[in-house]
Amino acid sequence: MLFVVLMGGPGAGKGTQARILQQSLEIPQVASGDLFREHFKNKTALGRLAKQYTDAGELVPDDVTVEMVRERLSRADCAAGAILDGFPRTIPQAKALNQIFAEKDDPVTIVPYIHVDPEILLRRLAGRWTCTKCGHVFHTEFNPPKVSGVCDFDGSPLYQREDDTEETQKRRIEVYFNQTTPLLDFYREENLLFEVDGDQSINEVQRDLIVAIRAVERSYPKTNWS
């Protein structure tokens, strides 16, 4: 099985790359944000539990998030693997993920890190516009829609999040790097981390990701893949 933990700071294009990768690799994108929205919408036991914390303005405990990920990875569409997007965020979460994979007898395959300097991330975030329907993200400078204010994929209007101010995004980037640097070191020590230059076009980043993933895939014994 092929399990990819895709990492990158806010504005690095991680979500966009994960959506493209799932088509190329034919395995699903498992995004932590989508999981929470699904459980909230369906009012599952985990969703109700998580909502108690979010309603109180508190962080959802790791064990709740981990159980959501565990349940998602047990579904039939993850039989050949998955691309994890937004999880793990901390070393305890990474260790919990390792335990999930140990139960499957299949470890994390590779951890591609889309590296972009903080200054560039801030420029990117300041011009982001999101589709109101499909959630596809455009950028006025780096990835503009064909028609201003309209999604290329479904024709829905685009909007800019209220919290996409420079001050808010600068703090968001700082928090990400403070939180994630130890996690990068964790995966580097496990010889799983592969850095990709994120200051390239979407197609060039995707090319580098595919090359890295396929190289690791070829290095595995065939019996490890299904």
Pairing, β 81-85 against β 128-131:
unpaired
Q: Please state, in angstroms and rounded to a whole number, the distance separating the CA atoms of residues 107 and 190.
A: 11
Helix (H) or strand (E) holding 41: helix 32-42
d(CA 212, CA 46): 35
The residue written with tokens 């209007």 in the block is 157
Task: List active site positions.
Answer: 14, 89, 128, 161, 172
* Four-point Cα dihedral 35, 135, 153, 112, nearest 10: -70
Rounded Cα distance, 128 and 94, in Å: 29
